[in-house]
Amino acid sequence: MRVAALYDIHGNLPALEAVLEDVRRAVVDRIVVGGDVLPGPMPRETLAYLLALEIPTQFIRGNGDREVLSRMAGIDTGTIPERFRPVMQWVADELEPEHERVMSRWPATLDLEIPGVGDVLFCHATPRNDTEIFTRLTPEDRVRRALAGVQASLVVCGHTHMQFDRMIDGTRVVNAGSVGMPFGEAAAYWLLLGPDVELRRTAYDLEQAAARIRATDYPQAEEYAARDVLSPPSEQEILERYSRVELI
């Protein structure tokens, strides 16, 4: 069995479309969407695309999805910075009750047995939490505490939008990167599992994607197109920023 793991799409439909072309060429048997399908500039279109895939697809919930669901239920969790609240509300208003029913069924984690890879635990940030931050540079002892009790031979995560492949004691931890909002070189990043573990990168037409995003009513469309698609922050910049808020 071959599995594609797609994380942190964030409503970037053009990036998702490009990745799915590569996924189909890889002839996978299953797709795992690892959370944070939302928020983003094309929420309805992105969900519709994923839910209509001909390849069997399973979802887990990310913190972004969770916050959008809270907004749809009329709940302000108080955890979203002020400047992002209009974005969350806009996305919530774009969706339909059926989207809420579907998304509310997404679990926080998923276990799969993949031949050649072994028992794989998919989570969004860490197995215990959907917002914790760790990177390829986070000290091992901090990551070890976040993995306490995990029996899987491989943990697949996302959330930080940067790929890495680490060993923590006997557990391999791989970050799939971000399809829609990567840090580092502009592209779309994902993971192919079975029989090996392959970090994948898909190039796509960034200018066309930016134009499609700018044509939406997304409250931060221009910022998303310019900063998240055309010219993402460097990995070094984000590593320095995350070092102040990573696992302790």
Residue 18's pLDDT band, with cuts at 50, 70 and 90, is: very high
Boundaries of domain holding 204? 3-242
Domain assignment present for residue 164? The answer is yes
| pLDDT over threshold 90, residue 83 | no
At residue 81, the pLDDT reads 84
Domain assignment present for residue 225? The answer is yes
Nearest to 58 by CA among 20, 23, 95, 109: 109
Collect all residues with Cβ–Cβ distance below 8 Å to 236 and sequence separation of at least 6. none
pTM of the model: 0.97
The secondary structure of 89-117 as a DSSP string is HHHHHHS-HHHHHHHTT--SEEEEEETTT
Residue 21's pLDDT band, with cuts at 50, 70 and 90, is: very high
Question: Rg of the Cα trace of the chain?
Answer: 17
At residue 248, the pLDDT reads 60
Share of the chain above pLDDT 70, in %: 100
Residue 78's pLDDT band, with cuts at 50, 70 and 90, is: confident
At residue 80, the pLDDT reads 83
Q: What is the mean pLDDT of residues 148-174?
A: 97
Domain assignment present for residue 235? The answer is yes
| Mean pLDDT value across the chain | 96
Domain assignment present for residue 248? The answer is no
At residue 121, the pLDDT reads 98
Domain count, the chain: 1
Burial 212-247 (b: 16+ CB within 10 A, else e): bbeebebbbbeebbeebbeebeebeebbeebeeebb
Domain assignment present for residue 247? The answer is no
Domain assignment present for residue 27? The answer is yes
Share of the chain above pLDDT 90, in %: 95
Domain assignment present for residue 84? The answer is yes
Distance CA 224, CA 227 (A): 5
Sheet holding 164-168, edge to edge: 109-114, 118-123, 154-157, 171-175, 164-168
| pLDDT over threshold 80, residue 24 | yes
CATH number (domain holding residue 128): 3.60.21.10
Q: What is the pLDDT of residues 95-151, one digit of tens each?
A: 999 999 999 999 999 999 999 999 999 999 999 999 999 999 999 999 999 999 999
Domain assignment present for residue 192? The answer is yes
At residue 79, the pLDDT reads 84
